[in-house]
Structure 1
Amino acid sequence: MKPIEQQKLFRSVQELIEKAQQNIVRNINLIMVATHFQIGHMIIEDEQGGQTYAAYGSATMRKLSEHLTTSFGRGYSVDNLELMRVFYLEYRNSESLSRISQIGHTNSESLIRNLATEFALSWTHYVRLLKIKDRNERKFYELEAVTNNWSVRELQRQVNSSYYERLALSRDKEGMRKLAQEGQLLEKSTDILKSPVILEFLDLKEDNRYSENDLETAIINKLEHFMLELGKGFLFEGRQRRISLDGNHFWVDLVFYNRLLNCFVLIDLKIGRLSHQDIGQMQMYVNYYDRKIKKADERPTLGIILCKEDNKAVVEFTLPLNNEQIFSKEYKLFLPSKEELKKQLE
């Protein structure tokens, strides 16, 4: 067999095994979620048999935990059984979960195969989601986790960084309703904006000793994290892209392309308070890309100035009233207080 044919065979076998492994993991997750959903259902049905929940929780739940732990080992503590109970209560109207609960009663193999493509969250994801009390917020994170294939760690990070609240601050009431029902949809340029942008993963100290070059280098070193923080559809085009005008040279700190918005996104980094010179410079960058770089079928270029301290009055009177291309956003090197963001929303 020729080397090229060997490599083709090796790749085909490897892809087959990887696909099989992925299916096994997906099926295990589905069955675990289905089982816990049904256990929660059974507990609720038994609880509604006449006993008060106080008596039920202190007696039957404990005995059930002891019985299951003896039979199956760890994983069936009273706290975990309570999670299954709450899981059923919160998701009993979910069409997908109702279908999953049929596993074991119908053609399980066929049902799992049909559900695997539409239902991707593990039990560990749901344990984290159940800690979110606000149902609109929980639904948002659930949709985003499925759409973006978030790991549990990434879901935890997005919740901790108040992703939902930061997006909601940039929207009206109708936009907030859509967030909860449809997740983050990029229909217009402002849909990508969060307030503020959180860069805690850069591990830079909250002081004045780092330079703009330090900030840029830290972002490049953790580019994947930064692109996740920016949002959906971002592709990295380059750093320090030069613009030459009549012998003068200027450099755009970071250039991205957003395939969902179909436009270039230019980012300038400022470690101090935003000035009107910063806005004028970004206006020049955006104009240059619109006139020299972008294609006719692409949308207008977006310019985002990431600054340590925003200046809304300067932005308001420097840019035109109908501005939809240039935005300033504060960045934070620490996770924000969820309580403070919620107060701003209210």
Structure 2
Amino acid sequence: MELEPIDGYQRLLGQIAEAYTRGRAQALRAVNTQLIETYWLIGQYIVEFEQEGKAKSTYGQQLLKNLSQDLKRQLGKGFSRSNLVYMRLLYQHYPIGQKPSHQLSWSHYVELLKIDDDLERSFYEKQAIAERWSVPELKRQKETALFLRLAAGKDKAGIMKLAQRGQLVEQPSDLLRDPYVFEFLKIPESHLPSEAQLESLLYDHLQQFLLELGKGFTFVGRQYRITINNTHYRVDLVFYHRILRCFVLLDLKINEVQHHDIGQMNLYMGYFANEENVEGDNPPIGIILTRNKDELLVEYATYQMNSQLFVQKYQLYLPNEEELRRELTQIWQMEEGHE
């Protein structure tokens, strides 16, 4: 009996592999869904037991400790005291009618439940789902205070919208973060990299850099050469944004931005609009990243200039979260004072 031709056999092999991979992924999602629902239900049982007053006795004071010991003995791993604390929190923060999403794992929710503020937690949950963050990516965004950075400068309504919907990219200004944080480069504080070194490091850590830039960025090129009247220029980093359907040009500066830097970026944007754009592309966005920014100089240098040219600050180390939180509190209090 002759075997099927080799191409037919390879097709069969591919079909089986695809079916198995798809089935396994579906099984894992089903297991995760059931796990989240079970942990939520366990949290409900614990909270209701406490609310009925049964936990006020001496036994009740050590309820989670005793539960952990007994459940581990009966059911095995998964019932540490810490895990039971988070199951209880899961029910408390996601009451009936607001159950947690099955698109995130239990490990995601453990990280989310460490956040006390409801608005902040809601933002990270929405953003983790929208951008399909892994648990390490979620941790990183929390550590760099992404919510506080995006919320800074918004009014109360804008902060609420951000918390309830996550960061939606609908216009060029939605791409911006203040400041951008490049702590993943792990540059010693005593060392100040040159512009070329910084660009090289960002390129070497492209995955982390794309995470910091946000959803929708596709890398196009580094030191992208453009030629105008036989003169060559190079854009430090070029991306294409899939949602806004436009090129995003990045220029890196280690010193304070000067007016000629802004003029040069405007030149790059004009070139891309006329020479690189194809049908369906929107006008390019230019972002100059700098460690220091003279707001007045930028205002005057961009007077009546392209509104899609931005000068944004970056820093090499984690932001001061307390300062950002104080700023957010001040915005909130000022808004309440005017109501």
TM-score normalized by the length of structure 2: 0.90
User: How far apart are the structure 1 equivalents of 2:208 and 2:159?
Assistant: 25
What's 1:335 paired with?
Answer: 318
Alpha carbons of structure 1 residues 59 and 212: separation in structure 2 relative to 1, 3 Å = closer
Query: Is the CA contact (8 Å cut-off) linking 1:170 and 1:195 kept in structure 2?
Result: no
**1:52 offset after TM fit, Å?**
5.6
User: How far apart are the structure 2 equivalents of 1:120 and 1:197?
Assistant: 28
User: How far apart are the structure 1 equivalents of 2:204 and 2:57?
Assistant: 53
Report 1:287-306 matches (<5 A): 287-306=270-289
Alignment-mate amino acid for residue 118 of structure 2: R
Report 1:252-331 matches (<5 A): 252-320=235-303, 323-331=306-314
Residue in structure 1 matching 2:104, options 104, 116, 121? 121
Structure 2 SS opposite 1:272: coil
Report 1:142-221 matches (<5 A): 142-169=125-152, 171-207=154-190, 209-221=192-204
Residue in structure 1 matching 2:72, options 69, 73, 83? 69
How many residues align? The count is: 326
Root-mean-square deviation (Å): 1.9
User: How far apart are the structure 1 equivalents of 2:170 and 2:70?
Assistant: 53
What's 1:104 paired with?
Answer: none
What's 2:14 paired with?
Answer: 11
5+ residue gaps in structure 1? 98-117
Alpha carbons of structure 1 residues 339 and 209: separation in structure 2 relative to 1, 3 Å = closer
Query: Is the CA contact (8 Å cut-off) linking 1:47 and 1:56 kept in structure 2?
Result: no
User: How far apart are the structure 2 equivalents of 1:185 and 1:128?
Assistant: 22
Residue in structure 2 matching 1:43, options 46, 65, 76? 46
Alpha carbons of structure 1 residues 286 and 215: separation in structure 2 relative to 1, 3 Å = same
**1:59 offset after TM fit, Å?**
3.5
Alpha carbons of structure 1 residues 322 and 246: separation in structure 2 relative to 1, 3 Å = closer
Query: Is the CA contact (8 Å cut-off) linking 1:205 and 1:333 kept in structure 2?
Result: no
What's 1:134 paired with?
Answer: 117
Structure 1 SS opposite 2:167: coil
Query: Is the CA contact (8 Å cut-off) linking 2:55 and 2:61 kept in structure 1?
Result: no
Q: Say whether residues 1:242 and 2:222 are aligned partners.
A: no
What's 2:333 paired with?
Answer: none
**1:216 offset after TM fit, Å?**
1.3
Alpha carbons of structure 1 residues 75 and 329: separation in structure 2 relative to 1, 3 Å = same
Alpha carbons of structure 1 residues 93 and 324: separation in structure 2 relative to 1, 3 Å = farther
Query: Is the CA contact (8 Å cut-off) linking 1:235 and 1:257 kept in structure 2?
Result: yes
**1:324 offset after TM fit, Å?**
2.3
